[in-house]
Structure 1
């Protein structure tokens, strides 16, 4: 009988230890879960998003000069840019933290032309809701521009004041590798 009691007590103490161990494991898993959530949130904010300041009036009135913008650097790893997305671009030999902010107008495989102040995509007039004015200078887009598989045609929203976009021979069409991310 004493032996059975000792055995029973041993089982009870093992069970109690197991319960204490389970609570400790649950608490540890809870803490580890929160640490992972906080680390992922920090990585998203610091690593995948970039803040920068608009240094010109090229995107006025959408983004005024000296406005702080956020660039989502991850979005285009999972999806392709769409028409009218505002994107941050790296053009030419600029330093790594200098970006151009422009709006995507033409998509890969399309033909873009600006004629009589109007944008045409595949010979269809484009309704450009970000600037009601007609385009005064078509630049290189005064003739058909056929975009390759990874090329985009971008414009400034303030296109009659600035022309450092795809109409310019110095900039031209933009390859997908030049797109840093989408401006939010």
Structure 2
């Protein structure tokens, strides 16, 4: 991964003639990743910002497509250099959004979509107040637990941690511009498309 420095004089301030930043967030297991994948398939004109993470790849994940997988020391070096638009720690791992690529695509007039955790989404709202923020909600706590267990990727302890964190995150849904319940996948996807494209 090549991380470019922010161009001289560049800031995160926006101009009305530029593109738009769209932030998709919600608790772990709510289906935001699957919604994002389908959205990108149907709308290749969207620019998806691939996040950087220190966690290990899951089965089938590809470096540079799903995430950029790097070491903790490299991540901390990039933080110190100011290379992230936002970054956060979640479930013992770091996640961050590379700054330069996002700003370049917004300046070229594109819709840029981020799929990030709550803490990072709050950072984006602070630095990009005109970003459109969408919070994906589960239909119920029991359904969320079923989805997380259905992944078969976490220990019981990790699942309990994710569910506890999810309840806290759901309390923050009102902070976001739009809340969408992912009960019916196609309906949720259509709601996102309506928000983005009218």
The structure in which a higher percent of residues are strand is 1
The structure in which a higher percent of residues are helix is 2
Higher relative CO (Cα under 8 Å, sequence separation at least 6) belongs to: 2
Provide TM-score, normalisation by structure 1. Answer: 0.22
Provide TM-score, normalisation by structure 2. Answer: 0.21
